[in-house]
Amino acid sequence: MASNHHQNGDTTTLHLSKKPKLSSAFITDAEIQSEFSHHDPAVARLNNGAFGCCPASVIAVQRDWQLKNLRQPDHFYFNELKNGLLRSRTIIKDLVNAEHVDEISIVDNASTATAIVLQQAAWCFHEGTFQKGDVVLMLHYAYGAVKKAIDAYVARAGGTVIEVPLPFPVKSNDDIIREFRSAVERGKARGNRIRLAVIDHVTSMPSVVIPVKELVTICREEGVDQIFVDAAHAIGCTHVDMQEIGADFYTSNLHKWFFCPPSVAFLYARGSSKSRDLHHPVVSHEYGNGLAVESSWIGNRDYSAQLVVPAVVEFVNRFEGGIEGIKKRNHESVVEMGEMLVSAWGTHFGSPSEMSASMVMVGLPPCLGIATDSDALKLRTHLRDHFGVEVPLYFRPPKEEEAECVTGYARISHQVYNKVEDYYKFRDAINQLVLDGFTCAVLST
């Protein structure tokens, strides 16, 4: 029997404005720096894409939620938690243009959302809805944890996994669309059904904005059963609209580019028969009451990161243009800083600027001798430990015919707290290494 507190998905108790009023007095530079004064001032933090950031005003609200729970847990559980989560889900629903709040579930992170979707696929293989050898498509540059989840849930259950090879550097959306069409043809060549396509919206490493609407359209035309968009970086970083994209499932973290504390994400499941058998992998009292309700209670834990979404909206609306203005300025700034760096080093971007959002891939000088993934990781550590620069690096193996080519790229991010001096510090660090005759071979000794 369902528990008597299963109405966490009740949508009748709250009525929120779809367009919160923006502040009449916009936030100042000094106030921005105060909001992020807890960041280490000795580090040029160019890696917002990995862990995100949370302003002090939102951290204070999170602490208030934590104390409400600790002060009187029963009152918090019965009188505060349900409405608080519904308020957050309603805001997310409006942000991403979902049709109904019940299509929005709040989970810990995009990895949890991925497990929910792939768990359903695994059950379909085990129960005979899908046949052995049926296909799951994923991009070659899918996030590493997603690849492992596909192996754990789908390949182990008998599915065939086909990777879509993607060029890098990439020159246009057409390159990606062409490779995706070819992979779909391969998936159907032996008469197997393509049961699931896992498509990134913004790839992690290398970072590229994928033409997700076009790939979803191809899937629909070719009869792909289900489409899951892994958009861990998307909300607060690029345009997100469930009606425009048209996927069955879509997830994005709110702690990367939407200023929530770690960790919180949403999973959108379009209202259809395909979403009815989605379940949270942590089974608790709400099992069977729908994914949104199941996810709202997975046992006694800290739900505060999920409850601060209204405070985040208040924060972003202190900026001119709200979150849309932030996205626009972050994109313009990261492109400008990227252009400064490639000009200083005589290199190039990993993709056209229009295929980036708040992160760009910047080529590093070939003379650094980045020849392996290990070299890239060791150089990243060297920059952190000796220069106070935090930036992820990517190794791109050279092709046979290439000589003296760029093999190393930095993924630089821009968020509201970044200053031009952060990027100058990175530029000067690399210039110093080049001047010193440094190569990654030194780090292997």
* HEC readout, the chain: CCCCCCHHHCCCCCCCCCCCCCCCCCCCHHHHHHHCCCCCCCCEECCHHHHCCCCHHHHHHHHHHHHHHHHCHHHHHHHHHHHHHHHHHHHHHHHHCCCCHHHEEEECCHHHHHHHHHHHHHHHHHHCCCCCCCEEEEECCCCHHHHHHHHHHHHCCCCEEEEECCCCCCCCHHHHHHHHHHHHHHHHCCCCCEEEEEEECECCCCCCECCHHHHHHHHHHCCCCEEEEECCCCCCCCCCCHHHHCCCEEEEECCCCCCCCCCCEEEEECCCHHHCCCCCCCCCCCCCCCHHHHHHCCCCCCCHHHHCHHHHHHHHCCCCCHHHHHHHHHHHHHHHHHHHHHHHHCCCECCCHHHCCCEEEEECCHHHCCCCHHHHHHHHHHHHHHHCEECCEEECCCCCCCCCCCCEEEEEECCCCCCHHHHHHHHHHHHHHHHCCCCHHHHHC
CA geometry: angle at 168 spanning 187 and 380, to 5°? 120
Locate 300 and state its tokens.
Answer: 């006694």
Rounded to the nearest 10 degrees, the angle between the axes of helix 322-345 and helix 309-316 is 70
In the chain, % of residues over pLDDT 90:
78
Q: How are beta strands 160-164 and 194-200 bridged, if at all?
A: unpaired
pLDDT value at residue 445: 65
Intra-chain end-to-end CA distance of the chain, in Å: 64
Over the chain, what is the mean pLDDT? 91
CA 33 to chain centre: 25
Mean pLDDT, rounded, for 384-408: 88
- Give the contacts of 58 (CB within 8 A, at least 6 positions apart): 259, 260, 261, 308, 311, 312, 315
Strand order in the sheet with 408-413: 359-363, 408-413, 393-395
Minimal CA–CA distance to 106: which of 272, 301, 245?
A: 301
Q: What is the average per-residue pLDDT within 127-135?
A: 88
Residue 39: which pLDDT band, with cuts at 50, 70 and 90? very high
Q: Average pLDDT in the 240-263 region? A: 96
Q: What is the mean pLDDT of residues 349-357?
A: 94
Would the pLDDT of 15 be above 50?
no
In contact, 262 and 253? CB cutoff 8 Å: no
Residues 196 and 225 sit within 8 Å (Cβ to Cβ): yes
Query: pLDDT category, 225, cuts 50, 70, 90?
Result: very high
pLDDT band at 191 (very low <50, low <70, confident <90, very high): confident
Distance (Å, rounded) from C-alpha 17 to C-alpha 69? 27
pLDDT at 6: 39
User: How large is the average pLDDT for residues 330-357?
Assistant: 96
366 touches 407 (CB < 8 A): yes
Report whether pLDDT(14) > 70: no
Confidence of residue 2 (pLDDT cuts 50, 70, 90): very low
pLDDT in tens, 152-174: 998 888 888 999 998 899 999 99
Give residue 8's pLDDT: 41
CA separation for the pair 196, 167 (Å, rounded):
22
Residue 445 CB contacts under 8 Å (≥ 6 apart), including other chains: none
Pairing relationship of beta strands 104-107 and 265-269 according to DSSP bridges: antiparallel
Question: Any idea which of 13-17, 57-61, 166-170, 346-350 has the lowest mean pLDDT?
Answer: 13-17
At a CB cut-off of 8 Å and minimum separation 6, what does 135 contact? 159, 160, 161, 162, 187, 188, 192, 193, 194, 195
**Phi and psi for 254 in degrees, rounded to 5?**
-100, -10
